Amino acid sequence: MVDQQPAPADFENFTAEQSYWNNKWHCHALKIKPGEFYVSDQEIVITTVLGSCISVCAYDTKTGFGGMNHFMLPDNSHHSNPVRCTRYGMFAMEQLINELMKHGSSCKDLKLKVTGGGEMLPGASSIGKENINFIETFIADEHLHLVSSDTGGDQGRRVAFFPCSGKMLVNKISHRQDQRLIKEESDYRHKTDHQLDTQEVELF
């Protein structure tokens, strides 16, 4: 039996449902939800579940820090300026990268792994493809090092990321779970739409 080490102090900022001991990997785990990110140099695992959303896992072997985010671009169908909607994805990436830079990383040393962007309602929405296009363009424009990518398709994904090693595990989930995932991401998309309508996002 593996002795449980104390959880990182900032795990207290998350709910008991999000932070827990993972018996499979014998370490503390943190499940991030849409709109969240987390960075650490501890022997933990960061997890999430994706449908149309994207997660970017970034890590730096020099500093030992790594992190993961979970984001979706809002639906831009009713906005007069689609470029405005990409700002949410840019903000999510800026959060992750800037937090790693606070711990001594530089952009040239970061290694990225990307997953998500599934089309959960084929023919009814292109949000998954829009998310993939956004992150591919962002990585190219910022000259970041993309190590691997697992995107697209019509299934959701369970993701586990180990920030110290940069290891990312991805499992496809059954279509039986699609409706719950679609509802969660729809609620999140509507929330981000409202945020864009009521306030401006300032990048830093």
Q: How confident is the model at residue 201 (pLDDT cuts 50, 70, 90)?
A: very low
Q: What local confidence, expressed as pLDDT, does residue 140 receive? A: 97
pLDDT of 79 higher than 70: no
Pick 191 or 108 by higher pLDDT: 108
Model pTM? 0.86
Q: What is the DSSP string of the chain?
A: -PPPPPPPGGGGGS-TTTEEEETTTTEEEEE--TT-EEEE-SS-EEEEEESS-EEEEEE-TTT--EEEE-B-PPP-TT-S-HHHHHHHHHHHHHHHHHHHHHTT--GGG-EEEEEE---SSTTT--HHHHHHHHHHHHHHHTT-EEEEEEE-SSS-EEEEEETTTTEEEEEE--GGGHHHHHHHHHHHHHHHHHHHHH-PPPP-
Q: What local confidence, expressed as pLDDT, does residue 82 receive? A: 59
Q: How confident is the model at residue 120 (pLDDT cuts 50, 70, 90)?
A: confident
Mind listing the domains of the chain with CATH numbers? 22-198 (3.30.1330.200)
- In percent, the amount of the chain with pLDDT more than 70 equals 81
| Mean pLDDT confidence for 78-94 | 73
pLDDT of 204 higher than 50: no
Q: What local confidence, expressed as pLDDT, does residue 191 receive? A: 72
pLDDT of 203 higher than 60: no
pLDDT of 64 higher than 80: yes
